[in-house]
Homo-oligomer: A and B are copies of this chain.
Amino acid sequence: MKEKPLSSLCTPALVVDVDKVKRNALRMIERCGSRRCIVVSTLAEACFYADHGFDDILYAYSLPLDKVERCADLSERLDLFQILLDHPHALDELKKRPLRDGRLWHVWLKLDCGNGRAGVLHSQPEAISLAQAIVGTKGVELTGVYVHCGNSYNCRGVEQIQAVAQETTDLTLQFMEKLKASGITCKSSIGSTPSCSHPVKDMGKLSEVHPGNYGFYDVQQSVIGSCTLEEVAVKVLTRVIGHCPHRNQLLIDCGWCGLSLDGAGKLPTGYAVIEGHPDLKLLSMTQEHGRVEPISGPLDYSKFPLGSLLTLIPYHSCATAVMHPVYHVHSEGRLLGKWIPTRGW
């Protein structure tokens, strides 16, 4: 069967350039090496990968107490199901649910080295005492120390990214030394899309890294400096569905059901970059409509007849991909098939 072109898709449609994904993945392997395991952020994803042959899965999310039993199931089923923990109460829950057949809970201590989200703060004595408590708990193994340097998202350019990567690595290695001084050895890791896209040499001293959204990338990562705009592998196809000459605007069939709102106020071109049209701005979106206008001057409507295709490069591909029940995969514009993402929790 002859593969259909992208233009055969009804819009809005999320399209994935599989060649770019492969190139991005190869480049990450060259930079950081590879392992057969996978890191997920929801249990739904963990179950999906477990059902499809992965037996080494890290659920990189501080153990939610409503999901202990589901985590226990995966721990008893897989070679190596690993969880995160940053609070002694969560450890108490593990004690209450010993695993069958003498299996161990594989626990990473989640450490906050300046990101300001989850994790026990690296500088607080509670961090060491929690590590000690994990080590001292029967049926639980301290697998490693996990740090997410999401603060690298505030960076602009390689130099700033590498400064955050270096600082996070230093703090993590210092923490590992403190652990060692109290007789504890385990793995260490940091991760984020920017820091793993431009790793510093000292990251080689860590056990592993978790490189984030390197497969798809997006406009945000290009602004940070993790990638070029050409490396972004996921886009949203949209069509012109209205002309509004009285407002110097056109309407497209992509609103916030097809593109995340989280580019708001971040780009001169609005909520996305419109490929090939740096002079256009995606000004606003409602549920199923986007308003597009020129950054300056009058719109030439003859260039954008009703039904014509535009390609949006998303500001944040994670947030946009989650809006789509189907990913349309293509190679050089020829459709190869569909990916159905795993959603929910």
The answer to the question of A163 belonging to the interface, with a C-beta cut-off of 8 Å to chain B, is no
Q: Is the interface of A mostly helix, strand, loop or mixed?
A: loop
Q: Can you list, as one digit per residue, whether each of A267-294 has a CB less than 8 Å from chain B (1) or not (0)?
A: 0000000000000000000111101000
Contacts of A64 on B, CB cut-off 8 Å? Answer: 10-11, 239, 241, 253, 307
- A184 at interface, CB cutoff 8 A: no
For chain A residues 295-330, which have a beta carbon within 8 Å of chain B?
305-307, 318-319, 322-326
Q: When chains A and B are docked, how far (Å) is the Cα of A258 from the Cα of B251? A: 28
Q: Nearest residue in B to A262 (C-beta to C-beta)? A: B261
Once the chains bind, are A319 and B256 in contact (CB under 8 Å)? yes
Number of chain copies forming the complex: 2
Query: Given the known A-B contacts A12-B345, A87-B306, are A286 and B150 also in contact in the complex, defined by CB atoms under 8 Å?
Result: yes
A53: chain B residues within 8 A (beta carbon): none
Q: Does A156 belong to the interface (CB within 8 Å)?
A: no
Stretch at the interface among A22-30, A117-125, A165-173: A117-125
What is the interface of chain A, defined by CB distance below 8 A to chain B?
Answer: 9-12, 41-43, 61-62, 64-67, 70, 86-87, 89-90, 116-118, 121, 124, 150, 239, 241-243, 246-247, 251, 253, 256-258, 260-262, 264, 286-289, 291, 305-307, 318-319, 322-326, 343-345
